Structure 1
Amino acid sequence: MSIELLRGKKLLLTGGTGFFGKSILDKIGRDASLGCDLTVLSRNPDAFKLNYPHLAKLSRLSFIAGDIREFSVPKSHYDFIIHAACPTGHWPAGLQADIILKGSERILDFARQCGVQKILFISSGEVYGLQPATLARIPESLPCRPSSEYGIAKRQAELMFAASPVPASIARCFTFIGRYLDLNSHFAAANFMDSCQRGKDIIIHSDGSPLRSYLYADDLVDWLLALLLKGKNSQPYNVGSENAWSILQLAQQIRAAYGGNNKIIVQNKEKGKNALARYIPSTRKIRSELGVKESFSLEEAIRLAIKQ
Structure 2
Amino acid sequence: MTSMRRRLLVLVAAVLVLAGVGTGVVLHAAARADRANRPQAGGPAVGEGTLTLRQKHRIAFVNGAAGPHRTAVAAVPSTDPGATRTATHLKCARFYAAGGTGICLQSTTGVLKQSNRALLLDADLRTRRTFALAGTPSRARISPSGRLAAWTVFVSGESYSSAFFSTRTSILDTRTMRLIPSLETFSVIRDGKPYHASDINFWGVTFAHDDDTFYATLNTAGKTYLVRGSLSRRTVTTLAENVECPSLSPDETRVAFKKRILSRTDLWHEYVLDLRTSKQTPLAERHSVDDQATWLDNRTVAYALPSQGKVGTSDLWSVPADGTGAPRLLITGASSPAPL
The structure in which a higher percent of residues are helix is 1
Q: Please identify which structure carries the higher strand content.
A: 2
**Normalising by the residue count of structure 1, what TM-score does the alignment of the two structures yield?**
0.30
In the superposition, the TM-score normalised over structure 2's length comes to: 0.28
- Point out which structure has higher relative CO (alpha carbons under 8 A, 6+ apart): 1
